[in-house]
Amino acid sequence: MRIGVPTETKTHEYRVACTPGGVHALVAAGHEVLVEAGAGAGSAMPDDEYVAAGATVVADAAEVWERAELVCKVKEPTPAEHAFLRPGLELFTYLHAAADLPLTRALLDHRVTSYAYETVTGPTGGLPLLAPMSEIAGRLAAQVGAVELMRSRGGRGILMGGVPGTPPAKVVVLGGGTVGRNAAQIALGMRADVTVVDVSPETLRAIDTETGGHVRTAASNAWEIEPFLLEADLVVGAVLVPGARTPHLVSDALVARMREGSVLVDVAIDQGGCFEVSHPTTHDDPVYQVHGSRVYAVANMPGAVPVTSTRALTNATLPYLLELASGTPLAVGADDGDHGPRRASLRAGLRAGLTTSEGLVRHVGVADAHGLPLATL
């Protein structure tokens, strides 16, 4: 199969969808890989490394999209890239289509077969292609929050860990999944006073065990968590409903009552955001003021650390990309020897990531978010 890797066009998105090592594996499997010139520069992966790995470097994005049968990206196609979509094209990337009706319409109108990293499942469950970026975003959330709390940035002027004789910052993490756990661990490492809120008692119990009881846990309901939010210096929105739009857990009215200079980091903004006051921002202009609080809602946080995140992403996506490029049907067939069970598992995981095909919506979360009919396989 001919696989295309274009340069990302989202503002300050420095990641690239495949490392030279990943290209080498694809070429060794018999595939042709087209990489747009300069696509890996932001991740410190120059064109000559891709050439050495067996890729063909092409001059511009239009050629990559036109010649490729399968396009592998990091972020969803931007409006400027919608013109490159066409019938018969396969697309493998983070889509977040439930929060983006124009993109969903473009995929349907152009009859693109699209697979979303964020809903692909692993052989034992979970979301293996989302997990590494969630780890990075969670850890960044605590770092970003610490910076935005400084008075010079417009925050409360409080140090995350305080010093002897002064209180630490109070950090509330909404959601105890991969993002929330990583945000809590980094905030705890900064010696902040950390509370994690989640709907699952099992998740809260696991976090309590992992942190030796040093992180406070709370059940997620409006009555219980409101006092924590009103006293919080930093709130990290880390709620995930796989493939669906994130519910607004914190209302505008509640934000208006929060501490002056408090910071809200909405890691869930790709899927619509945890806070009613959230709207997507960019690394160019990441923060805006609402009432007395500062809201950080950059939709591609891991793009700020591409040397780390590009490698982590390729490590996760490459087995699934190889499976897609194999051209075998996405159905569990007969065991094909030693690789049979694994290949069947990968196919099942890819089916969970299928978002659109043949002009139809294939994922229930996207269909529900936009009021579109669902066409199951």
- Show which residues are catalytic: 96, 270
CA distance 261 to 238: 20
Question: In terms of Cα–Cα distance, which of 358, 374, 364 is closest to 108?
Answer: 358
Angle of the 201-210 helix axis to the 178-189 helix axis, nearest 10: 30
Cβ atoms of 345 and 123 within 8 Å: the answer is: yes
* Residue 206 CB-density burial (10 A; 0-12 exposed, 13-18 middle, 19+ buried): middle
Share of the chain residues as helix, strand and coil, in percent rounded to the nearest 5? 40, 20, 40
Cβ atoms of 14 and 80 within 8 Å: the answer is: no
25's tokens: 């594996």
Cβ atoms of 268 and 239 within 8 Å: the answer is: yes
Q: Cβ contacts of residue 3 below 8 Å, gap of 6+?
A: 26, 31, 32, 33, 34, 68, 69, 70, 71, 72, 321, 325
- Sign for the CA dihedral angle at 258, 261, 262, 265 comes to positive
